[in-house]
Chain A
């Protein structure tokens, strides 16, 4: 096998497996015929095959009608699941903070592995991480179930557990994760919004093929590292760790995205990365005596990132869909 053929064969890996099995030999033959006079492989040929393979993978994962909307919703759901899971993990991690500042109804009362954990935070963590796990393993029904359970847990807590000792607060556990890092009003209801949107996004997101077990495990590990990194970043919002975490977020998201199953988020991560870089710059150079501006910036940045996920996922899917129907 010549070096050119080896490289062309590697480029064919960009095609979905079904297409490669059906047409791979033909495409390879044409590439070799077209570049027979060259000593080195033709970069244009390699690029065109990779681009065509990428497009076909997008097609295979977009289901009409409303394919673009569902593609965007799928990745908005992923971003929201990461965010809510990170907030939940942050709440569990900060048992010292919870022990001293939470009202009695939300105070840690469970002791697991030496950690004092609030049952409400534990419930929040289980539902939000459950939704994330179900999403990355393509268990759509389970993801919806977890998301709806998360909403129910929040509604219950917000409605029935007023936070004594916190004027204006109604016992919303998620809001406490932000107590030290945000000067926003402790409005409990705003945290219902991400969970509700998460449930809605999962509900309308397009069906995806179930990947192999190795890929599912890899995506799960990367997603959980992503959650831990984001939680850590939020817990250290005034330091360089925050900047690092916020920059790592889109990079790790890109790692998840680059899975051969569904390449759309690779594009979706680009605006997220663009959003994160100025944020990181803001934090590195932030005046520690004026944290409010920084908090608002990071909140806006995270929300912007989620919107970017949804919009970029949707537009990339629609643009790349071209005139060919999905081949799933």
Chain B
């Protein structure tokens, strides 16, 4: 991952940290984790999921049909956990740069 991770992708990975989820489950979990700020649409979700599968960060994990609707489940891989942890560390370091300057006493 040489490029900065986009926010929906970050929250898709974050949502899957708690266990496998289907498409709508990921959307719901991402909204919860971001206090409703990140609203992932279906087109964005499946674009991100396919990229993540290709990069080996997410893997399909079974499917079922509920009320006539097909649900395919996805899980995060070990590599996915490592990448999202790295991204979280990068974001934390970036936020500390600002925090140290705005509130020097608290940050130190």
Interface, chain A (partner B; CB < 8 A):
23, 25-34, 42, 44-45, 47-53, 55, 322-325
Q: Is the CB of B69 within 8 A of A33?
A: yes
**Chain B contact residues: over half helix, strand or loop, or mixed?**
helix
Segment 54-97 of B: residues with Cβ below 8 Å from A? 54-55, 63, 69-72
Q: Is the CB of A27 within 8 A of B42?
A: yes
Determine if B19 is an interface residue (Cβ-Cβ < 8 Å).
no
Q: Is the CB of B51 within 8 A of A322?
A: yes
List 15 interface pairs A-B (beta carbons < 8 Å), by A numbering. Answer: A23-B46, A26-B63, A28-B69, A45-B41, A45-B42, A45-B43, A48-B42, A51-B43, A52-B44, A52-B46, A52-B47, A323-B54, A323-B55, A324-B47, A325-B54
From A26, A45, A51, A324, give the contact of B54 (CB < 8 A). A324
In Å, the complex CA distance between A44 and B45 comes to: 13
Q: Which residues of B contact A23 (CB under 8 A)?
A: 46
Once A30-B23, A33-B24, A323-B51 are accepted as A-B contacts, the answer to whether A25 and B43 lie under 8 Å apart by CB is no
Shortest B13–chain A CB gap in Å is: 15
Once A322-B51, A323-B51, A324-B54 are accepted as A-B contacts, the answer to whether A29 and B43 lie under 8 Å apart by CB is no
In Å, the complex CA distance between A140 and B55 comes to: 34
Q: Is the CB of A30 within 8 A of B24?
A: yes
From B44, B54, B70, give the contact of A29 (CB < 8 A). B70
Closest B residue to A56 by beta carbon equals B47
Once A32-B69, A324-B51 are accepted as A-B contacts, the answer to whether A26 and B23 lie under 8 Å apart by CB is yes
Q: What 4 pairs across the A-B complex have the smallest Cβ distances?
A: A48-B43, A29-B69, A48-B41, A52-B43
In Å, the complex CA distance between A27 and B22 comes to: 11
Shortest A223–chain B CB gap in Å is: 32
Q: Is the CB of B51 within 8 A of A31?
A: no
In Å, the complex CA distance between A29 and B65 comes to: 10
In Å, the complex CA distance between A31 and B43 comes to: 9
Q: Apart from A26-B70, A30-B45, A49-B42, list 7 A-B contacts with CB within 8 A.
A: A33-B23, A34-B27, A34-B42, A42-B41, A53-B43, A323-B51, A324-B54
Closest A residue to B71 by beta carbon equals A29
Shortest A289–chain B CB gap in Å is: 56
Q: Is the CB of B51 within 8 A of A27?
A: no
Determine if B50 is an interface residue (Cβ-Cβ < 8 Å).
yes
Q: Which residues of B contact A31 (CB under 8 A)?
A: 42
In Å, the complex CA distance between A80 and B43 comes to: 36
In Å, the complex CA distance between A34 and B40 comes to: 10
Closest B residue to A53 by beta carbon equals B43
Q: Is the CB of B24 within 8 A of A44?
A: no
In Å, the complex CA distance between A51 and B71 comes to: 22
In Å, the complex CA distance between A305 and B39 comes to: 39
Shortest B68–chain A CB gap in Å is: 8
Q: Which residues of B contact A325 (CB under 8 A)?
A: 54
Shortest A120–chain B CB gap in Å is: 53
Q: Which residues of A contact B46 (CB under 8 A)?
A: 23, 26-27, 30, 52
Q: Which residues of B contact A51 (CB under 8 A)?
A: 43
Closest B residue to A33 by beta carbon equals B24
Shortest A164–chain B CB gap in Å is: 64
Q: Which residues of A contact B42 (CB under 8 A)?
A: 27, 30-31, 34, 45, 48-49
Closest A residue to B66 by beta carbon equals A29
Q: Which residues of A contact B43 (CB under 8 A)?
A: 27, 45, 47-53
From B27, B41, B55, B72, give the contact of A26 (CB < 8 A). B72
Shortest A49–chain B CB gap in Å is: 4
Shortest B40–chain A CB gap in Å is: 9
Q: Which residues of A contact B23 (CB under 8 A)?
A: 26-27, 29-30, 33
Closest B residue to A30 by beta carbon equals B23
In Å, the complex CA distance between A28 and B72 comes to: 12
Q: Which residues of B contact A25 (CB under 8 A)?
A: 69-70
